[in-house]
Copies of this chain bind each other. A is one copy, B any other.
Amino acid sequence: MVQNDGARQSQGNQAPGTTLPGMFSRYKSSVEKGLYNAVPGADNFEAYRLLRYHLGWVDRQGGPLDTSVTQGKALRPTLCLFACNALADDYSQSLPAAAAVELIHNFSLVHDDIQDQDVERRHQPTVWHLWGISKALWSGNAMQCTGDLSMLNVAGQSISPATVLRVSEILTESYLEMIQGQCLDLNFESRTDIKADEYLYMIACKTGALIRCALQIGALLATEDETAVKAFAEFGNHLGQVFQIRDDYLGIWGDQATLGKATDSDIRRRKKSYPVVFALERASGTAMEDLLRIYGQEELEEDDVQRVMAVLDEVGSQEYSQRLTEAAAARALEALKPVSLPRWAQTEAEELVDFLARREY
């Protein structure tokens, strides 16, 4: 378990994992400023209207809404600004980069929703569900272009063209890795012989690459010290695993309402997330037979869901998943050790890791 007195203190009397660490609120307005600057205001390009809707800024008619409900945590841009801020006092030069990473993440969500035929995200109908596959396809693409342009525009007084090229390349390579993860994940749908290692590689691509990229680019825009840049990249690799395995955990044992998903749990959706892959590797006898039978079905009934839950319980999936999360959390903090960070940054890194490993939403 990852614990830290500073983190505990700053969370006050709240139970761990129920409150967002302070860095999220501290960078919130900077994240928003970066995004507003990156997304053109022009209303004559429909894709931008869909983009603003997906980002949770406006409702489907373009009217105002309660953004506290419709906006995500903005994890990736927050990480980008944090890395830059931890290594340099002024982090203003990283605002366009933070926006770029968030836009690329959201582009992948728009296309992901088409793929999974998900009808709701963050309590709102998804873009393809409202406007059809074609418009969702192109507005996702427009979002990705907007992200790329934001990154290419990071050039400023203190950022050389060569550095802009390097961060642009890192961003593009990272989302190519993310796409590779998406493709692997697709192939897993028809398989029941996925090894845990394969699964961890898939999530390192699908989720980890962009989280690592956010931290690495934030660091690169602050310093030329390659040790520091590498440490933040490594921190990101482990953080990606922490985030995704906890996400998988919450998809089965979390409070669905808190997650903002109207649909059922990941079991009902036959998602082969980590706890299920673990069970498929460990189960034997009748338990294994039941798993294979149930995951071979097109649709799952309540009885099937209950049986899968029982098998996960039998093989200890819940405990093992959380143990894996906490081991990755420890490795994440270990990765930062070669860098001499200011006290506040060290404390916040610990607070963040602790939150991601134990969050309830």
- State the A residues within 8 Å of B (CB): 45-47, 111, 114-115, 133-135, 137-139, 141-142, 144-146, 148-149, 152, 155, 160-162, 164-165, 168-169, 172-173, 175-176, 179-180, 182-183, 186-187
Contact = CB atoms under 8 A, between A and B. Distances in A.
Contacts of A146: 176
A147 B42 CA distance: 27
Contacts of A133: 114-115, 133
A149 B162 contact: no
A187 B132 CA distance: 12
A131 B172 CA distance: 25
Contacts of A176: 142, 145-146, 149
B111 A183 contact: no
Contacts of A135: 183, 186
From A114, A168, A169, name the one whose CB has the most chain B CB atoms within 10 angstroms.
A168
A83 to B, nearest CB: 22
Nearest to A184: B46
A186 B180 CA distance: 29
Contact of A179 (B47, B165, B179): B47
Contacts of A47: 179-180, 183
Contacts of A165: 152, 155, 161, 164-165, 168
Nearest to A168: B152
A141 B147 CA distance: 14
Contacts of A115: 133-134, 137-138
12 contacts: A46-B183, A111-B141, A114-B134, A135-B186, A138-B182, A142-B180, A142-B183, A145-B172, A152-B165, A152-B168, A152-B169, A152-B172
A181 to B, nearest CB: 10
Contacts of A45: 180, 183
Contacts of A155: 165
A39 to B, nearest CB: 12
A130 to B, nearest CB: 14
A5 to B, nearest CB: 43
Contacts of A139: 183
Contacts of A148: 148, 172
Nearest to A107: B141
A175 B138 contact: no
A160 B164 CA distance: 12
Contacts of A152: 165, 168-169, 172
A290 to B, nearest CB: 28
Q: Which 6 pairs show the lowest CB-CB distances between chains A and B? A: A161-B161, A145-B176, A115-B134, A161-B162, A142-B179, A148-B172
A235 to B, nearest CB: 24
Contacts of A183: 45-47, 135, 138-139, 142
A160 B137 CA distance: 35
A20 to B, nearest CB: 31
